[in-house]
Structure 1
Amino acid sequence: MQSDVTIKHERRTGANRLERVNVRIFEDSESLSKQVADRIAELIRSNQNRGRNTVLGLPTGSTPISVYHELVRMHREEGLDFGDVITFNLDEYYPMAPDSLQSYHRFMYENFFDHVNLDRANIHIPSGSVDRRDVESHCEEYELAIRASGGIDLMLLGIGRSGHVGFNEPGSSAEDRTRLIVLDEITRKDAASDFFEEKYVPREAITMGVGTIIEAREIILMATGEHKAPIVRRAVEEKKNNHVSATYLQDHQNASFFLDSAAASDLTREQTPWLVSTVDWDFDMATRAVIWLSEQEAKAIPHLEAADFQRHHLHDLAHLYDGVDELCLEVFETLRRKILYAEELPKNKKVIVFSPHPDDDVISMGGMLGKLVSNGNDVTVAYMTNGSVAVFDQDVTRHLRFVEMTYSVLAGAQPAESFVHRSDEILEFLEDKAPGQVDSEAVQKIKAFI
């Protein structure tokens, strides 16, 4: 039955007029998760007061974990009752045993179901262990179970970098139902760290279809982190298309995107607010606008002219200054002063740099390190990890082959028998290595070197 509690769409005008779906932006992921958990609790309690079940559609992944933890806290400390809640999970890898480390069955029980009073008979998760011959009928039964429950009251979603909701990869249609689907390459690459190597990531999954998802009476899509910002902008501001399945939510009358500030950072209203609304200019905002204008015109900041500001509707900014030359010069000098030249840095000192991971130091401050060394400083980099867990097995194989070929070229002979024997041992270990198996000491050392 339909809940009487709903979240209404905001009217999209001004700053958010380019957004095709309701968007709520939170300062951080914690406040976002708290708001989502509060909404779920409100819905459950409202339905309980009316003698109704609450049917939830639930996702997995890192984004909803904080929501589940908050719901568990509410259950323990506030008595939130899940006794009449029915759940349907979005998806599961295929094939996948329910007790596997990467199983969404295991994820849900460890992070949520085992800690609240949900009736196990009311928990529904697509099976990754069903016989392939029975997958189609299993999917049909899943759809029937959703309908028999009265339909989903509130569907929680995440969004993948391919734009998928559930595992509805690019090419999915708005009519698709629960089915077996081939995973996109981006999705498998993003999951590689969970499976210790991309080759161990299943190539298929069972997922609710877009058609199933948009039949929910309310939808909340959660996205956190800067890495989600580009696809969030596409899902929110692009027209509906089958390349980004999240755009199908634009047609839903009660769908909202809940974003933290990082995930929202590419939205027009956040990135270039002067394009969609009147701006209360301060110098930081003016600096952002001038840098953006420089990029649009492909001109150095000191070479920008009044006509450039007019052409890009920044005349109100230009009018705040006696002339654009003064503004551009001030922005340019402010940026220039942020550059620390060698003569401004320490000389002949001992310097220690803490880097969380090998290469982070070079990527984030390689130029600074070079200047410090040129100033005669004794620079030491302390790596907090050896980085081996970020290197795939295939990289070890490739580097061993490279060393073998390089030795032949430089020495003019084949590698020593001891090297070949040790290399073969390592390659054999990698060939027989099971998913999740701890690397041998030799493999760990090679990965650290890489």
Structure 2
Amino acid sequence: MAQSRERVPVQILEHDQIASTLAQRIASVIRSANAAGRPAVLGLATGSTPIGIYRELIRMHRDEGLDFSNVVSFNLDEYYPMAPDSIHSYHRYMWENLFEHINIPRENVNIPPGDIPREQVEAHCAGYEEKIRGLGGIDFQLLGIGKTGHIGFNEPGSGVESRTRLIALDTVTRRDAAADFFGEDNVPTEAITMGVASILDAKEVALIATGEHKASVIRRAVEDEPDPDVAATYLQTHPNATFYLDPAAAAELTRVKTPWVVGEVRWTRELEIRAVIWLSESVGKSILRLDNYDYREHHLSSLLARYGSAGPLNGEVFNALISKIRGKSKLPQGKRIVVFSPHPDDDVISMGGILNKLHHNDNDIVVAYQTSGNIAVFDHEVRRYLDFLNRFGHDFDLGDGRIEDLTGRMSKFLDEKHPGQVDIPEVQQIKQRIREAEAVSGIETFGMRKDQACFLKLPFYQTGKVRKDAIGPEDVRITLELLEDHKPEIVFVAGDLSDPHGTHRMCLDAVMRALAEYSGDAPEVWYYRGAWQEWPVSEADVLVPLSEDELSKKILAIYKHQSQKDKAPFPGQDDREFWQRVEERNMGTARIVDRLGLPEYFAMEAYVVRRNGKPLEVETVSTSALGAPSHRRRASDFPGAGAGAQPGLQGDAGEVTELGGQTTT
């Protein structure tokens, strides 16, 4: 019943479970075909999503003897034009990430060529289709999904009868690939792709999607009718297609987001809060003004029955939300804290407000920047610093020639550099130092010392390329060493899974693995989100209010990251500057809280907190202390009210009047 809106089978698994599940399934297909005396024909995909599957297949080949000698592979697509040895080519991707680590014969590997003359493309595409048919079709087809809903490169408008062909790439697709190519202008405008019909001919299809940024298009692909504008919807017609999603990618599915709409649910406190917030936003009323009719007309009769009437239910949820709000006086004081920042700006972008408050609460804070962030520095920034070095050397008569030799060597490399080419070590180093200096300047905005910045330079990141290595023992060792040295009582980590190049997810993995080996008492873990999304009010355990001045100081700290300002190298799908995203997100969270009928604040940050792996238990506020909706009360009646409130609610004092659920000062 709860899955009645889903038009295709869906499995929701954790990220690592997806990799192991599908690797096991592929191994089963290979072994079954071998037992039948025929080759196993695999359709393979590229991108960041299948990397875990390929790593598990490599492990199975190495440790369990999984034999690929009788496997024939067909890749979905390739950019056009594209040299096979290019750092951007899918030929190179497949060999680096799978083929060179297993025993598949080179002649059994089939990838659309990106380097043939245009007049030969049509004939080659026809031959590609004929070769698949000659082998009896694809046994197992692995797919990802683009933000346009494309499978392969079947962009909006691709017909259900389409076959392997040359296709023009959608603007959204090219923008999404811009990070890999170090700029949208460097992304090819065309690609060769297997068609929708080619994919649907496969005997079994598995589509995988991970991360919050895929949630919206996944809902369309799974729940909407087949539509040429979303090629993935055609999989609904396949007799053996399954979507494998992590919880973040599944977040917009009806059974996940609003399960009460499609069937009976087992009510928990967390689900009650989600439902009441959803209802409040759906009907445009503050929580304390919701009535019995609202609940009954919006599939929430079973929830209403638990409380008898709307009043007690509204009060319970209202009080629970109030308890989440923590101003400066309600935040940790005198604690040992480690803030893990994947890149040298995620700290101020995502948690600059609370970092400022925690510093002024006399906490012992170390900000650990996990990666150098050097690939996210434009070459023109390096040229600016090289010019400065030359002028500096001239002004102070540093004339031994070493500065000129160094800057000249780097300038020559930059003049001859191809898009996406790996930087020489000297350029990588100067880009790293640019990011480090900006990070120090950022935390100094809050009055913190430069020695509170710790640069871990985790090895997994040090490839010089957008694609990184897997998290390894050395990454975990470096992280664990910091934990053992500082013995934190609280750890902040990035829980954002939407970053366009996956570094946040890998940095989170490094911290979690280090914490599993940590010898001290388990610290409280606070999860923040990055530059792309904020925790919903219903999911957040702590809401930290910010005054207008505090938000301005946070934005000033973001400004210190000059190499990321104006236009960041990896902006994702949002063209706004990071400070603009932060301003809208933090003020937007405060507006949501205001619409729910809670005290009005200028801006807010949101955090999810886990203690010993369990959700934070917050102190609730008694209903009698809150009074009726028209009750006049002081801001200090609310946990955390004050330091982050609107002008007139400064400090932990100030007076608030709630009129019809809307708080004014």
Given the two structures, how large is their TM-score scaled by the length of structure 2? 0.58
- The SS at the match of 1:88 is strand
Distance in 2 between residues matched to 1:427 and 1:146, nearest whole Å: 49
2:186 matches 1:200: yes
Please tell me the residue identity of whatever aligns with 2:254. T
Q: Which residue of 2 aligns with 1:15?
A: 2
What displacement does 1:251 show? 0.9
* Among candidates 300, 324, 327, match of residue 314 of structure 1: 300
Please tell me the residue identity of whatever aligns with 1:252. H
Given the two structures, how large is their TM-score scaled by the length of structure 1? 0.84
What displacement does 1:299 show? 1.6
CA gap 1:313/1:180 in 2 versus in 1, 3 angstroms:
same
CA gap 1:269/1:393 in 2 versus in 1, 3 angstroms:
farther
* Among candidates 235, 250, 253, match of residue 264 of structure 1: 250
Single out whichever of 287-296 and 343-352 deviates more from structure 2. 343-352
Distance in 2 between residues matched to 1:184 and 1:362, nearest whole Å: 34
CA contact (8 A) 2:333 2:363 kept: yes
Q: Which residue of 2 aligns with 1:94?
A: 80
Q: Which residue of 2 aligns with 1:35?
A: 21
Single out whichever of 311-320 and 44-53 deviates more from structure 2. 44-53
Distance in 2 between residues matched to 1:115 and 1:352, nearest whole Å: 38
Distance in 1 between residues matched to 2:275 and 2:183, nearest whole Å: 42
Single out whichever of 380-389 and 238-247 deviates more from structure 2. 380-389
How many residue pairs were aligned?
Answer: 416
2:90 matches 1:104: yes
CA contact (8 A) 1:197 1:392 kept: no
Distance in 2 between residues matched to 1:111 and 1:347, nearest whole Å: 47
TM-superposition CA deviations, 1:264-317 (whole Å, max 9, x none): 121111111111110111211111111111111122212211111011010110
TM-superposition CA deviations, 1:57-98 (whole Å, max 9, x none): 111111112212222222233222222211111001111111
What displacement does 1:179 show? 0.9
Single out whichever of 195-204 and 164-173 deviates more from structure 2. 195-204
Q: 1:287-436 alignment to 2 at 5 Å?
A: 287-345=273-331, 353-372=339-358, 383-385=369-371, 387-392=373-378, 433-435=417-419, 436=421
Single out whichever of 134-143 and 66-75 deviates more from structure 2. 66-75
Distance in 2 between residues matched to 1:57 and 1:379, nearest whole Å: 49
Distance in 2 between residues matched to 1:349 and 1:208, nearest whole Å: 56
CA contact (8 A) 1:223 1:263 kept: yes
Distance in 2 between residues matched to 1:48 and 1:153, nearest whole Å: 12
Q: Percent identity?
A: 54
CA contact (8 A) 2:288 2:315 kept: yes
Q: Which residue of 2 aligns with 1:58?
A: 44
CA contact (8 A) 1:169 1:245 kept: yes
- The SS at the match of 2:233 is helix
Please tell me the residue identity of whatever aligns with 1:304. L
Please tell me the residue identity of whatever aligns with 1:438. D
CA gap 1:174/1:391 in 2 versus in 1, 3 angstroms:
farther
Single out whichever of 346-355 and 283-292 deviates more from structure 2. 346-355
Distance in 2 between residues matched to 1:365 and 1:299, nearest whole Å: 30
- The SS at the match of 1:320 is helix
- The SS at the match of 1:102 is coil
TM-superposition CA deviations, 1:112-160 (whole Å, max 9, x none): 2122222222211101111122111111111111111111111111111
TM-superposition CA deviations, 1:194-240 (whole Å, max 9, x none): 22222222221111011111111111111122221111111101111
What displacement does 1:444 show? 6.6
CA gap 1:272/1:133 in 2 versus in 1, 3 angstroms:
same
2:385 matches 1:438: no
Q: Which residue of 2 aligns with 1:240?
A: 226
* Among candidates 49, 67, 78, match of residue 64 of structure 2: 78
- The SS at the match of 1:77 is helix
Q: Which residue of 2 aligns with 1:178?
A: 164
Distance in 2 between residues matched to 1:375 and 1:112, nearest whole Å: 50
CA gap 1:336/1:362 in 2 versus in 1, 3 angstroms:
farther
Q: Which residue of 2 aligns with 1:222?
A: 208
Distance in 2 between residues matched to 1:347 and 1:46, nearest whole Å: 61
- The SS at the match of 2:293 is helix
Distance in 2 between residues matched to 1:215 and 1:237, nearest whole Å: 22
Q: Which residue of 2 aligns with 1:231?
A: 217
- The SS at the match of 2:191 is strand
What displacement does 1:379 show? 7.4
Distance in 1 between residues matched to 2:332 and 2:50, nearest whole Å: 46
Distance in 2 between residues matched to 1:49 and 1:65, nearest whole Å: 27
Please tell me the residue identity of whatever aligns with 2:146. G
Distance in 2 between residues matched to 1:370 and 1:71, nearest whole Å: 46
CA RMSD of aligned residues (A): 3.0
What displacement does 1:373 show? 5.9
CA contact (8 A) 2:71 2:104 kept: yes
Please tell me the residue identity of whatever aligns with 1:215. D
Unmatched segments (≥5 aa) in structure 1: 1-13, 401-417, 419-424
- The SS at the match of 2:306 is coil
Single out whichever of 240-249 and 113-122 deviates more from structure 2. 113-122
Distance in 1 between residues matched to 2:107 and 2:277, nearest whole Å: 58
* Among candidates 115, 122, 141, match of residue 127 of structure 2: 141
Q: 1:149-188 alignment to 2 at 5 Å?
A: 149-188=135-174
CA contact (8 A) 2:377 2:431 kept: no
Q: Which residue of 2 aligns with 1:254?
A: 240
Single out whichever of 192-201 and 102-111 deviates more from structure 2. 192-201
Distance in 1 between residues matched to 2:267 and 2:366, nearest whole Å: 43
What displacement does 1:164 show? 0.8
CA contact (8 A) 2:375 2:431 kept: no
Q: Which residue of 1 aligns with 2:391?
A: none
Distance in 2 between residues matched to 1:273 and 1:306, nearest whole Å: 20
Q: Which residue of 2 aligns with 1:8?
A: none
Unmatched segments (≥5 aa) in structure 2: 385-393, 395-407, 439-561, 564-665
What displacement does 1:384 show? 4.1
- The SS at the match of 2:207 is strand
TM-superposition CA deviations, 1:389-432 (whole Å, max 9, x none): 335558x59x98xxxxxxxxxxxxxxxxx9xxxxxx99998675
Distance in 2 between residues matched to 1:343 and 1:276, nearest whole Å: 43
Distance in 2 between residues matched to 1:36 and 1:190, nearest whole Å: 25
Please tell me the residue identity of whatever aligns with 2:90. Y
Distance in 2 between residues matched to 1:46 and 1:271, nearest whole Å: 39
- The SS at the match of 1:56 is strand
2:7 matches 1:24: no
CA contact (8 A) 1:197 1:393 kept: no
- The SS at the match of 1:69 is helix
CA contact (8 A) 2:162 2:195 kept: yes
Distance in 2 between residues matched to 1:116 and 1:387, nearest whole Å: 32
Distance in 2 between residues matched to 1:121 and 1:349, nearest whole Å: 61
